Amino acid sequence: MRFTQRSLIVISLAFAGLVPAAATVAATPPAPAGAGAAHAGNRCFQVTATIPVRRPAFEVAVNPKTNTAYVANGGNVSVINGRTNTVAATIHLGGSPYAVAVNPKTNTIYVTNRGADMPVISGQTNTVAATIPVGGGLFGVAVDPKTNTAYVANPGNNTVDVLAPCPK
């Protein structure tokens, strides 16, 4: 079924015994932008490349300064060149890498490994620069580039570990 800008989708739902009255939702979809495309406000977003990586692919983080993406997948981190949309390198970590965060200021990539460590990758060399023992069951990671501090969610311990540079 194709919709135009003037199309109106009206969905009415009545849940017998669950809500006293039917709820109505109306939406006007934008004009079709082609296969694999969608409008968001005045912008159109579309799939321009599909890059195969090892299974299973989990999280992606991008360094906007180098136009490089890092994808945690199948015991590895795939390094994707954003200019060519190809895998430029594969960094073997073992274990189960899950979340990825990039500090564009230092070109450092932090990866949570669902075991008990956190590999830290140099974006300059695409190699593991350090492995930090953090705790069991690491999940998400975020980086504050201003302070060069990483925050790691550790649901195994119900904690957030804060990783900061060592004092000099």
Residue range 69-82: mean pLDDT, rounded? 94
Tokens matching residue 60: 């992606």
**pLDDT value of residue 119:** 92
Q: Where are the beta strands (DSSP E) in 64-158?
A: 68-73, 76-81, 86-92, 97-103, 108-113, 117-122, 127-133, 141-144, 149-154
Domains of the chain plus CATH, in order, are: 9-46 (no CATH), 57-163 (2.130.10.10)
82 or 135, which is more confident: 82
76 or 115, which is more confident: 76
Neighbours of 70 (CB within 10 A): 25
* CA 19 from centroid of its chain's CA atoms: 37
> Mean pLDDT across the chain, nearest whole number?
78
Q: Taking 60 as the threshold, does the pLDDT of residue 30 lie above it?
A: no
Angle subtended at Cα 54 by Cα 51 and Cα 56, rounded to the nearest 5 degrees: 105
Q: Taking 50 as the threshold, does the pLDDT of residue 96 lie above it?
A: yes
CA 77/CA 94 separation, integer angstroms: 10
98 or 25, which is more confident: 98
Residue 86 has phi, psi (to 5 degrees) of -130, 160
Provide the whole-model pTM: 0.74
**pLDDT value of residue 35:** 59
**Residue type (1 letter), 166:** C
**pLDDT value of residue 58:** 86
**Residues 6 or more apart whose Cβ sits within 8 Å of residue 46:** 33, 34, 36, 37, 38
Residue range 89-101: mean pLDDT, rounded? 92
Q: Taking 60 as the threshold, does the pLDDT of residue 7 lie above it?
A: no
Chain segment 99-133, per-residue pLDDT in tens:
999 999 999 999 998 777 889 999 999 999 999 88
Burial class (CB in 10 A: 0-12, 13-18, 19+), 164: exposed
**Residue type (1 letter), 145:** P
CA 88/CA 36 separation, integer angstroms: 25
Q: Using 50, 70 and 90 to split pLDDT, how confident is the model at 50?
A: confident
Chain segment 158-167, per-residue pLDDT in tens:
888 899 888 8
Q: Taking 60 as the threshold, does the pLDDT of residue 65 lie above it?
A: yes
Residue corresponding to tokens 């969608």: 38
SS3 state of residue 4: coil
CA 59/CA 77 separation, integer angstroms: 10
